[in-house]
């Protein structure tokens, strides 16, 4: 008997896809919540650029490169990032976008990153690149997953790339002989997968795998959010409980156990 014997057939299939491919994509559990986030992001962007609100938030986001320069991009990003994270409904809604998948892949007693990240990548912009990396190289725990949510359709260079699990270990072993992240990308490029995700879907990926992005050569702007989740009882690395992470789901039995103290005389 294995641990998968206790899972439903659809859960087993999802878990195996995550292990084999390093990621899973699925329709958002709460499409209305995703549309609310998209609309709020578009309205915050319009406010920053002093534009009227639109009835087509997708078009606003996808064409934002016609309204903002590369020099002002980070100001726009920070305005939208801070505005979204200031909303009380935002993080619970973000969690609900992928709750069923998170609970299958990670568990149901969870910590969530305190602030959800936002990336905006204009077409042709080389200033917003994320070099080939694994999150565990910079203080993340290998027990975390990333929930990655696009606010527009993403494909090819408008998306992110991921190195498949079977190749990740061998490529990491070769890193000592390489001189730069760009040289590393050239080595993994033939094997890296750019993940296509239509708006309305979410992705969970294994952030121990090498990943990154390239110059967006598509005609529209990429808007994507990412946030880390982990089992509350699993090991932490540099990003600690109560600092980077906060608990969002803790079951009653765990609460009781964490608070219980044995009476005197039981410790020899």
Average pLDDT for residues 170-177, to the nearest whole number?
Answer: 76
Angle between helices 31-48 and 73-85 (to 10 degrees): 130
Q: According to the model, what pLDDT value does residue 61 have?
A: 98
Q: According to the model, what pLDDT value does residue 167 have?
A: 85
Going from N- to C-terminal start, the domains of the chain cover 9-30+98-234+242-249
Angle between helices 73-85 and 90-97 (to 10 degrees): 90
The set of residues, in sequence order, having a beta carbon less than 8 Å from that of 147 and lying 6+ positions away, is: 94, 97, 98, 102, 202, 203, 204, 226, 227, 228, 229
Q: According to the model, what pLDDT value does residue 3 have?
A: 64
Question: Residue written as tokens 């996808």?
Answer: 62
Q: According to the model, what pLDDT value does residue 268 have?
A: 55
Q: According to the model, what pLDDT value does residue 2 have?
A: 61
Residue 50 region, left (φ>0) first, then alpha (ψ -120 to 50), else beta?
left
- The rounded mean pLDDT for the chain is 92
pLDDT single digits (tens) 114-169: 999 999 999 999 888 888 888 888 888 999 999 999 999 999 999 999 999 988 88
C-alpha count within 13 angstroms, C-beta hemisphere, residue 98: 31
CA 8 vs. chain centroid, Å, equals 25
Q: Which two tokens stand for residue 169?
A: 């270990």
Choices 3.40.720.10, 3.40.50.1980, 3.30.980.10, 2.60.120.620: CATH for 9-30+98-234+242-249: 2.60.120.620
Q: According to the model, what pLDDT value does residue 138 have?
A: 84
Q: According to the model, what pLDDT value does residue 1 have?
A: 52
Question: What pLDDT band is residue 57 in, cutting at 50, 70 and 90?
Answer: very high
Average pLDDT for residues 67-76, to the nearest whole number?
Answer: 95
CA angle 135, 139, 14 (to 5 degrees): 45
The set of residues, in sequence order, having a beta carbon less than 8 Å from that of 152 and lying 6+ positions away, is: 58, 61, 62, 199, 220, 221, 222, 223
Q: What's the pTM value of the predicted model, to 2 decimals? A: 0.92
Kindly tell me if the per-residue pLDDT of 171 is higher than 60: yes
Cβ count near 1 (within 10 Å): 5
């Amino acid at each position: 008997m294995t641990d998968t014997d206790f899972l439903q057939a659809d859960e087993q299939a999802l878990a195996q896809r995550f292990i084999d491919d390093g990621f899973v994509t699925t329709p958002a559990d709460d499409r209305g919540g995703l549309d609310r986030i998209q609309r709020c992001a578009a309205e915050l962007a319009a406010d920053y650029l002093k534009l009227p609100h639109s009835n087509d938030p997708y078009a606003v986001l996808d064409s934002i490169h016609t309204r903002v320069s590369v020099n002002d991009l980070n100001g726009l990003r920070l305005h939208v990032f801070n505005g979204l994270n200031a909303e009380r409904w935002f993080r619970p809604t973000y969690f609900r976008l992928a709750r069923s998948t998170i609970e299958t892949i990670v568990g149901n007693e969870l910590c969530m990153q305190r602030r959800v990240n936002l990336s905006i990548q204009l077409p042709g912009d080389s200033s917003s690149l994320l070099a080939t990396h694994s999150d565990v190289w910079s203080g993340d725990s290998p027990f975390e997953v990333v929930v990655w949510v696009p606010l527009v359709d993403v494909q090819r260079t408008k998306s992110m790339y991921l190195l498949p699990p079977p190749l990740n270990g061998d490529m990491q072993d070769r890193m000592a002989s390489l001189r730069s992240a760009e040289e590393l990308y050239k080595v993994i490029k033939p094997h890296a997968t750019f993940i296509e995700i239509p708006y309305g879907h979410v992705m969970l990926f294994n952030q121990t795998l090498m990943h990154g992005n390239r110059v967006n050569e598509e005609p529209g702007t990429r808007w994507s959010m990412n946030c880390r989740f982990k089992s509350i009882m699993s090991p932490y690395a540099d990003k600690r409980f109560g600092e980077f992470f906060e608990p969002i789901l803790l079951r009653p039995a765990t609460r009781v156990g964490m608070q219980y103290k044995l009476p005197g005389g039981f410790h020899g």
